[in-house]
Amino acid sequence: MKKRLRIVLIWALISLILQFGAYSLLNNQVQKVMAPPVPIEPITLQLKATIPGVDLTNIQISYAKDYLAYMENGTLKVFNLKKETVVFEKKLPSANDKTLGVLTYQWLPDRSTLLYFYAKKNPNPITYVTRYPPQTESPPIIKTPTANSTSVGQNTEDPNEKTVKEVPKVVNEDVPTKPWVEKVYGNPQITELYTLELPDSDEDIAPDDRFNQTIDQFPAGGKIEEWVVSTTTNLMYLTVKNGSTEQLMEIDVMKNVRTLNTWGETIDNMAASDRYGTLYIDSKVRAAQQVIAMSGTKRHIISKNVNDRIIGIRDGKVNIGEVVNDVLVKIKTTPDLSEVKSNPSLKTEWQGSIPFNKNLRTVIGAKGQIVVYDHQTAYIVTSGQFKEVTLHGDENYVSVDGAELIQLTREGTSTLAELQPLEP
């Protein structure tokens, strides 16, 4: 009996081990599909390519450094740097209205996928709906009690009871009695989100341009000022400014859209956790300036220092800069946690002086380096060490992983793009 029990237990253990192994393998495969692993070492290329045209704006390079996205005369273009050819164009819906078309775009940090918002006029901003009057009910009949009426609660009726009184019908002249047609005003602008999948740059395959969803809550004429994506949680955050109003919108994987900012709040900058999707913002309400972490509807104050600004998040570290009179004087960090707490301790990582205004861009590289740059100079802080790099070319851009430098130089009616690793 003991021998049989031992055999059963052994086979049960073997079965559990096999099941655990199968589940682990399946989970790993799913993780690779849902969130492809980012290489430890960022991809860098060293090449030159000639791009037709000279009026190129909003330059962005793909994670593999082989595609360049830019705007030219209101048209979004994607250029294959290896084959030196334009592989995708998205033009304005109307040449007469340049406020429409592609509003903004962004490469995903771990694959050759470009997300972009596209606006066009709603062909049916006004619809007509037939309305019907409310159904009228017959007036109630009230019986006049007689001397032979029975007591309350009895069901016996007096056969001699004949007197009835009808409540007179009150006619409300404000209530229509016939169907009518009513105008319904919708959003005059249709705003759509697209996903552009690019093939391997060596292949002759057309990109896959897929419609994702319509953002019904997007205000007509709104301008997207900030846009961050958390690929691990499939959350997108964008600030939309329309006149004097500003909206902070969240879009989740289920295509749900909601507004997160409070009344009267303006947001100067924001960054999303690459692990947990927590959103960190520079929030300003009247004179109060704070760095705030948002997770769903919960808010936590990270810093009440009016000079502190969120710089970015990478590999479990939230980077906050202290900016005084447009000069970055200190870089502080706090851990990027799944459960955020208010008023965390901030560790000073670096102190010095770096120009820091709206004309400069900031990225946090794959190795944790902070790069602040304009078209002439890049200021790099790595593990507390500072380095200044002089840039060449008419315009200079740094990839979002901080590894690649893109130098653009105008040559006649074309633009020479030169790619090289950014000095560490």
Confidence grade of residue 22 (pLDDT, cut at 50, 70, 90): low
Contact in structure between 101 and 91 (CB atoms under 8 Å): yes
Q: What pLDDT, on a 0 to 100 scale, did the predictor assign at position 327?
A: 97
Strand order in the sheet with 279-285: 265-272, 279-285, 288-295, 298-303
**What's the mean pLDDT in 264-270?**
92
Q: What pLDDT, on a 0 to 100 scale, did the predictor assign at position 97?
A: 84
Contacts of 165 by beta carbon, 8 Å cutoff, 6+ apart? 141, 142, 143, 144
Whether pLDDT at 270 is above 50: yes
Regarding predicted confidence, which is higher, 166 or 381?
381
- Distance in angstroms (rounded) separating the CA atoms of residues 314 and 307: 22
Q: What pLDDT, on a 0 to 100 scale, did the predictor assign at position 343?
A: 95
Q: What is the mean pLDDT of the chain?
A: 86
Whether pLDDT at 147 is above 70: no
Confidence grade of residue 233 (pLDDT, cut at 50, 70, 90): confident
Q: What pLDDT, on a 0 to 100 scale, did the predictor assign at position 40?
A: 66
Q: Which residues of 49-65 are buried (b: 16+ CB within 10 A; e: fewer)?
A: bebebeebeebbbbbbb
Confidence grade of residue 34 (pLDDT, cut at 50, 70, 90): very low
Regarding predicted confidence, which is higher, 255 or 139?
255
Q: What pLDDT, on a 0 to 100 scale, did the predictor assign at position 151?
A: 43
The answer to which of 17-31, 187-201, 297-311, 371-385 has the lowest mean pLDDT is 17-31
**What's the mean pLDDT in 356-382?**
94
Q: In the chain, pLDDT over 90 holds for what percent of residues?
A: 64
49-66 tens-digit pLDDT? 999 999 999 999 999 999
Residue 93: CB atoms within 10 Å? 14
